[in-house]
Every structure is written in structure tokens, then in C-alpha cells.
Amino acid sequence: MESIKARVTRSGAILLGSNFTVDGHSSRPVRIVTHIHADHILELEKSIRECTLVAGTSYTLEILDILGYKIPMDKMLSLDYWKPIEILGEALTLVPARHIVGSSQVLVETRDYRVGYTSDFKMPGTPPLMDLDILVIDATYGSPHLQRKWADWEAMAALINIVEESLKKGSVVIYAYHGKIQEIMMELRIRGIKESFIVDLQGLKIARVAEKFYNVKLDPIMTSSDEYTNSIIFRHASEYNESKSKLTKILVTGWELRAPAIEVKDNIYRVSFSDHATFKEIIDYVREAKPKQVIVDGTRGTATKITAKYVEKILGIPAMSQPS
């Protein structure tokens, strides 16, 4: 049995305790999926074949099915937030993370150790995992240079303003990742925007899961085969380009660091809205959680060595980026 109770492998698996592999594959009994983003379902097919159980929140498991990952019923372990389950002598708990539909943090503990992984998160709204021996943390924006200078609500207000103005002229296309799309849908409905959402069939199914998660009605939602005028069309961020179009195009990305919203060309906008903690929020999380040791996930973040150095110098907590 391994004596080190938390580490990040070269292939991006977060190994917790003795039995769990999180967001990447390893030959361990239980694969945990914290959320459905591509960089957190690495080698999932292999884990479905080789691991005894595949665990996640009911929302995550439902979206995985929509995305085509067929987990056999006898391997599927659906967990509620905050409800520990004991597996092979270790207690496993999924803790909420404010990121996308169904997102979780992971806590593994026994009488002898307590370790955890934040996965992707933002603050406030993510309860820090307290009193850990080892905290594995995500650092998507791992350096002070990547700090956004405005609040979420400013970027969301800018987005809603552009959407409302553009709808007077015709349809709007919003480009974003899975998860962020559903969050934007929810924000638009809460703020009283009533125009139809147009998505593909997969997008429609994921929106239905999001309705349960956020407890907000998102209708009217239609699939792309429907007739539409003055609608809000959602597409995956990978389909975005800046070629001319009759429709207003909006890319929603956390990597726009110049302003909350920028018109890059006529009717083409970039809005700076992210579902990841800013650098300051990462440090705030660690300060509050007070772990004995920090591992920054070096396989997914940016400038993770700088994050580790900062945690050591500013907070005085031993920290490293892993794999080194």
C-alpha cells in the first residue's frame, strides 16, 4: 500500500487515499468524476472497463450518459453532496464546488489521514475542505498576472446588456463550454430574458439536468431544427470564429483579461466570464482551509509552480506543483 496519501500522476489522475483515482485513470478500485469537462474525464472509458466503481453526483452521471459514456448499472455509484460513504476502510465524501452543473470536490479520510481535491472551483460559493493533511488544488489562473480586475457580476451584466441590445436586431449566438452554457441560460432567465434558447439535442438534454440542479425553468428551449427568429443560439466554444456574420456573436471566455466585454469587430464580442477561481481566490481558499501541505495540480493549471511558491512564501504552508 502506498504511504503517500495524495498525489497527481503524469497522466492527470489525482490519487487520493489507497482506493480512489479522481478525474484520470489509474488501476484503483474506484474512479471518481468531479464534473464533465473534457480535462476531468481523462481515460474514462478505460476506468469504466477496469475499475470496480465509477462515482460522481447524480447530475454528473446523468450528463456523462448524455455525452455517450455508458457506465454499467452495477458499477455506477451516485453520491449526494456531504453524505460520506465507506469504501474499503476509507470514508469518501463529495463536497459541492461552485463551477458547473453537478461539480464536486472530493474528501477521503480515515482515522489516520484526511486528504482532498478541490477540482475546478470558484469563490465565493465553494466551501473549503478543512484540516487536511494534503490538499490538492486546481490553479487554472495560477499567477497574479492572470488576475481578472472585475467581478463576475460585472461581466455577467455586460453580457446581458449585449444580448438585450442585439436581440432588437436579430438572433444572438453565444459560444461557451458545457456547463458555462447552462449557467448563462439560468442567469438570462433569472434576469427576465424570455426569448427562445436554441441548442442541439445533446444541449437540450443537458439543459434539463441543469434545470434540476439550479431549480430554474429554462423554457422555451428548442433544438436547432426548429424555425426561429430573434433567438439566443448556444454553440460550443470550439466552434467560435471571428468571420463576419448577420447574427451577433459572443464568445464567453475567462481568458479575456482586457475588460469585462470587448467588441472585437462589428457585432462580434468577447465577454470575460470564468467559472474558475482567480489567483487571489485560490490563495483565499488555501488561507481559509489551512491544510498541512498543498499540491497544485500541474497537469491542468497555468503557472502552477508560481502558485506553489506563493503558498509557501505568503501562507507558510509547504507546497509543490505536481508532477514536478
Asked whether 25 and 47 are in contact (CB, 8 A), the reply is yes
120 binds Zn ion (CB under 5 A): yes
- Number of residues engaging Zn ion in binding (CB under 5 A): 2
63-71, 116-124, 197-205, 304-312 -> range binding Zn ion (CB under 5 A): 116-124
Asked whether 18 and 88 are in contact (CB, 8 A), the reply is yes
Q: What is the largest CA-CA distance in the chain?
A: 64
Q: Which is nearer to Zn ion, 113 or 175 (CB)?
A: 175
Per residue, the 3-state secondary structure of 282-317, as one string, reads HHHHHHHHCCCCEEEECCCCCCHHHHHHHHHHHHCC
17-25, 71-79, 114-122, 168-176 -> range binding Zn ion (CB under 5 A): 114-122
Give me the least distance between CB of 243 and Zn ion, in Å please. Answer: 28
DSSP 86: E
Count the Cβ atoms, other than its own, within 10 Å of residue 318.
14
Give me the least distance between CB of 4 and Zn ion, in Å please. Answer: 26
Asked whether 15 and 9 are in contact (CB, 8 A), the reply is yes
Give me the least distance between CB of 170 and Zn ion, in Å please. Answer: 32
Within residues 19-38, the interface with Zn ion by CB under 5 A covers 37
138 binds Zn ion (CB under 5 A): no
Q: Which is nearer to Zn ion, 120 or 256 (CB)?
A: 120
297 binds Zn ion (CB under 5 A): no
Torsion of CA 42, 48, 54, 56, to 10 degrees: 50
Residues that bind Zn ion (CB under 5 A): 37, 120
